Amino acid sequence: MGAARRLRIGVDVGGTFTDLALVDEATGRIVFHKVPSTPADPSQAIETGILGLLQRAGGAAAEVAFLGHGTTVATNMVIERRGARTGLLTTQGFRDVLEIGRQTRPHLYDYAVTRPAPLVPRRRRLEVAERVTADGAVLRPLDEAAVAAATEALLAEGVESIAIGFLHAWRDRRHEAAARRVVERVAPGLYLSCSHEVLPEFREFDRFSTTVLNAYVGPRMARYLDRLQGRVRGAGITAPPYTVHSNGGLMSVATAGAAPVRTCLSGPAAGVIGAAVVAGQAGFPDVVTFDVGGTSTDVAVIAGGAATSTSARDVAGHPVKVPAIGIDVIGAGGGSVAFIDAGGGLKVGPRSVGAEPGPVAYGRGGTEPTLTDANIVLGRLDPVALLRGAMPVDAAAARAAVQARIATPLGLSLEQAALGIIRVAVANMGRAIRGVTTERGYAPEAFALFAYGGAGPLHATEVAAECGIPVVVVPREPGTMCARGILLADVALDFVRSEIAPLDEAAWAHAATRFAEMQAEAEAWLESEAVPPDRRDADRAVDLRYQGQNFEVRVKLPDAAATLDAVLDSFAQEHARTYGYAIPGRTVELVNCRLTALGRMPRGAPEPPPAGGAVEAARIGLRDCYFDAEIGWRSTPVYDRDLLPACARLAGPAIIEEMSATTVAFPGQTVELDDDGNIVLRQPARTARRQELTAHA
């Protein structure tokens, strides 16, 4: 009797679709699946999708050895302001830190744009007597009776959770720890979030904001995770589910419940991690990730095989200072609404029709034209059905909506209106890519565009041309790349210690002590996550700045034995790349020591596409497709990607369809499939492009 199969499942919950990927560890066979999301209870779509995926793969729930999922539950709670009723206990004199912030406006010259109101109103921000200085000395002992009285007052306000944020708890956590014990005694079972546990870094506004966010989403996130575990067990899966967090790593449900703020940008982060692995295997260590879904476009940079990271993000205007992949998000996706603004200009997004009612062509009651409708009008998307025939398309309704809402009011032809919608969206996407490349010291022409998401490959050629990127790479089943990325992620958690001092030999020795402390914590956490010792690892980094600066540059350490001179050299290089200059001789200041605990997960090699065979055998038809005003309509061959053999070669124009996405190759482009089945599109040289246009004028 053979050994039981081991199946691994990744699930990405998006605003429009829930994407799933399954891999058989033994064979590398990958199976993909998509179901409509259920925003009222995301776990419902997860259960439905898992059951459908197992049926499609011919697998059993008992064979599932791993289940990981990415979620936007915490992010949506903040955006929609439907988190828990939260209170804040803070140092006397500092209840208004959340209100004061950095004393900056989101838009300097636009007085109509204001900062969002704090998630905890002033009446629920209570002060207690205590004070620790920046060097850790106790200036005023904690008044535990005041903590108890403040807790009683917050309970009378009906709070579901309490955040505790004291002024210098990053330096000495004892007062916060004592306050936690008091609150637990007065209000047992209440959700608590302490700043020294969530973010032991200096800068009180960021620390308080992040801690409050954690408390705000904590109770409802815990209930969601409970429902998720119940549905997973109901589906017959015994493997405990993991959650992706913002740095692209995996953590258990217990860790996610204690630190839910780390799950913001959960799904997009998994896609970037997967893109780094797949692009690196394909020979492209430097890529710009281009993830276009139904609601948004997410872009990030992978340089030298590693995703760039940041620790300063915001969610709906609220700072969240947790380590995260440097993803920029704009409101441009397949469901983005096209409309004419008050000035008579054509706009696309950021508003989206979402899963319900969806684009007009989906026939679910939508009346506003979207980016998806424009692509159907131009023949770039199948005008009959999507998702391998599972989703019927009403092309006539899409044409009528674009004509009535856009073409007629602007005096354009139907084709001009649909192309205009696409070009406006492409311009928005291009600006986002320049924001993570040119504006951060990277040259776009030195990168490939790694396109995924349901609509990424559809627009990749035009976006690449917009940004001067010469090569586009499209992975297999790009619409489920974030789900596949979960299967390529490692268990991970970030630890940090602030240690502000001029960086000399003494400070570097002190930093080594801090790293040793974090390493011990990391080992304990990996043990709690059941990661075997032979799969444990750690990445280290420091945040440095020139003395007198206010913001830092992240410098990765090659190993635990990195020398001070090597670190200073790396800082000068990174500072020059980021800001365009370095200052030899200026004192460098150490700010933060960072350690990422890693539990390496088994990945296995994906099953390769079929070898041999003819490209023509994958051709499933012809479709009229409109490319641009110069080329116009072209009869374009349509290929089934699953039937294209490895190392296939063809020339544009071509449309390549698969379950989760459609790739459009323009006239003049070359199309190749590599050994792993990735599509590689190369842009034509400018002279060749002009000749192509002339030939088809």
What pLDDT, in 10s, does the model give residues 132-175?
999 889 999 999 999 999 999 999 999 999 999 999 999 999 99
Indicate if the pLDDT at residue 521 is higher than 80.
yes
Between 16 and 300, the higher pLDDT residue? 300
Task: Determine the structural domain holding residue 574 and report its residue range.
Answer: 491-599
Residue/partner pairs of 45-48 with CB below 8 Å, 24 or more apart: 45/13, 45/18, 46/11, 46/13, 46/18, 46/228, 46/231, 46/232, 47/231, 47/232, 47/234, 47/235
C-alpha–C-alpha distance, residues 689 and 660, integer Å: 30
Top mean-pLDDT range of 149-163, 302-316, 470-484: 149-163
CB 285 within 8 A of CB 304: yes
For residue 579, tell me if it sits in a domain.
yes
For residue 610, tell me if it sits in a domain.
no
* Tens-digit pLDDT profile for residues 239-283: 999 999 888 899 998 899 999 999 886 768 889 999 999 999 999
- Do 280 and 250 lie in a common domain? no
For residue 11, tell me if it sits in a domain.
yes
Q: Tokens for 630? A: 């110069």
For residue 390, tell me if it sits in a domain.
yes
CB 120 within 8 A of CB 128: no
Determine if the peptide bond prior to 502 is cis (ω within 30°).
Answer: no
DSSP state of 196: H
- Do 64 and 162 lie in a common domain? no
What confidence score (pLDDT) does residue 339 get?
95
- Do 155 and 204 lie in a common domain? yes
Q: Write the CATH number for 242.
A: 3.30.420.40
C-alpha closest to that of 132 among 174, 194, 177, 93: 174
Q: Among the three residues 466, 487, 508, which one is the final residue of a domain in this structure?
A: 487
- Do 258 and 300 lie in a common domain? no
Sign of CA dihedral 256, 261, 267, 271: negative
- Do 571 and 517 lie in a common domain? yes
Q: Among the three residues 487, 516, 531, which one is the final residue of a domain in this structure?
A: 487
C-alpha closest to that of 421 among 363, 378, 366, 478: 378
C-alpha–C-alpha distance, residues 292 and 283, integer Å: 23
Q: Among the three residues 221, 253, 288, which one is the final residue of a domain in this structure?
A: 221
C-alpha closest to that of 624 among 615, 611, 614, 637: 637
CA distance to 204, 383, 636, per residue, from 137 (Å): 17, 70, 74
C-alpha–C-alpha distance, residues 461 and 468, integer Å: 10
- Do 302 and 442 lie in a common domain? yes
Segment 509-536 shows an average pLDDT of 94
For residue 472, tell me if it sits in a domain.
yes
C-alpha–C-alpha distance, residues 385 and 616, integer Å: 22
Contacts for 189 with CB less than 8 Å, ≥ 6 apart: none
What confidence score (pLDDT) does residue 287 get?
97
C-alpha–C-alpha distance, residues 421 and 405, integer Å: 12
What's the domain count of the chain? 6
For residue 606, tell me if it sits in a domain.
no
C-alpha–C-alpha distance, residues 201 and 63, integer Å: 43
Sign of CA dihedral 336, 337, 340, 342: negative
Q: Please, which residues bridge with residue 471 across strands? A: 448, 682
- Do 631 and 674 lie in a common domain? yes
For residue 195, tell me if it sits in a domain.
yes
- Do 211 and 352 lie in a common domain? no
- Do 531 and 622 lie in a common domain? no
For residue 1, tell me if it sits in a domain.
no
